[in-house]
Copies of this chain bind each other. A is one copy, B any other.
Amino acid sequence: MCRWLAYTGSPVLLSRVLYTPVHSLIDQSLHSRLGAETTNGDGFGVGWYDATPAPGVFRSIEPARNDQNLRELAGHISSPLFFAHIRAAIGSAVQQTNCHPFRHGRWLFMHNGFIDGFAAIKRDLVLAVDESLFPQIQGTADTEVLFCLALTFGLEDDPPEAVARAIGLVEACGRARGVEYPFQGTVATTDGESLWVFRYSSQGKSRSLFFTRDVRLLRQHHPDWEVLREVSDDARLVVSEPIGDLPAAWVEMPEASYGVVSKEGDRLLPFAPRPPSTAA
């Protein structure tokens, strides 16, 4: 099972979030509590925003916990918005081009879960990818195809609609090939300004997703968690599995929902895929 984390708030060293907390993301790569598989060792990636127009992305196929380069970068890069992902490969090759997050222009995209029966429907899905995006597919992961479908369906203009159409197409193609539950997982995407996160599965039993209740509350309950004193009050973490030992600090995203974190405030809304026939 993959693990991911999205941070938005005042700029912070990546290492403060990735390594320091109790049961951090890196620890989780060794000892997951909620995941379907206990080990996450098939590569990892971080994507971060800074003064440069497009985000930076660092990806590696070595186990995250012992990767010296990740430790170096995390100790030197500060960012107000970053993604981190640890992969458990399901089928596709362990290679950098299959590591999350994926990037297109200013956008990042990552996923914990899978497209069931991907080998059988991959051809149908890539045929639906916009021709201009097709040559940019660099790996063989299901998530990269999902990202390209979302871009094809207008991710840059209306992320919830685009993701609903992308997952709707995955479900339609999968069911046409006899796959009972074609989609599973949680997804995060961002343009460097706002953050969209999704929790959905065809079966209605989606992988977990949590966000922090309020930094001011967390500070009270985690006085030993130093990073909380460094970040702004509006800082927000969204994670596939809670970090630290205070369950009350986390809110679980409901089944079939999506959330937006933006300057206009945060929203939590229901999510449903949009089947191809109903697309505008």
Residues of A in contact with B (beta carbons under 8 Å apart): 30-31, 37-39, 41-42, 48, 50, 52, 56-63, 66, 68-69, 72-73, 75-77, 89, 92-97, 119-120, 122-123, 126-127, 131, 134-135, 137-140
Q: How far is the CA of A76 from the CA of B78 in the complex (A)?
A: 11
CB distance from A40 to the nearest CB of B (A): 9
Partner among B42, B50, B52, B60 whose Cβ is within 8 Å of the Cβ of A66: B42
By secondary structure, the A interface counts as loop
CB distance from A151 to the nearest CB of B (A): 15
CB distance from A129 to the nearest CB of B (A): 9
Q: Which residues of B contact A73 (CB under 8 A)?
A: 56, 58, 73
Partner among B41, B127, B139 whose Cβ is within 8 Å of the Cβ of A39: B41
A123 touches B131 (CB 8 A): yes
Which of A41, A92, A137 has its CB near the most chain B CB atoms (within 10 A)?
Answer: A41
A63 touches B60 (CB 8 A): no
Copies of this subunit: 4
Partner among B38, B52, B62, B137 whose Cβ is within 8 Å of the Cβ of A140: B137
Q: How far is the CA of A66 from the CA of B43 in the complex (A)?
A: 11
A56 touches B30 (CB 8 A): no
Q: Which residues of B contact A41 (CB under 8 A)?
A: 39, 41, 63
A61 touches B59 (CB 8 A): no
A72 touches B97 (CB 8 A): no
Q: How far is the CA of A92 from the CA of B66 in the complex (A)?
A: 10
B94 touches A62 (CB 8 A): yes
Q: How far is the CA of A135 from the CA of B57 in the complex (A)?
A: 27
Partner among B50, B63, B122 whose Cβ is within 8 Å of the Cβ of A63: B63
CB distance from A47 to the nearest CB of B (A): 9
B42 touches A63 (CB 8 A): yes
Tell whether A93 pairs with B94 under 8 Å between CB atoms, given A41-B41, A42-B63, A75-B52.
no
Q: Which residues of B contact A140 (CB under 8 A)?
A: 97, 137-140
CB distance from A81 to the nearest CB of B (A): 13
CB distance from A51 to the nearest CB of B (A): 8
Partner among B56, B72, B126 whose Cβ is within 8 Å of the Cβ of A75: B56
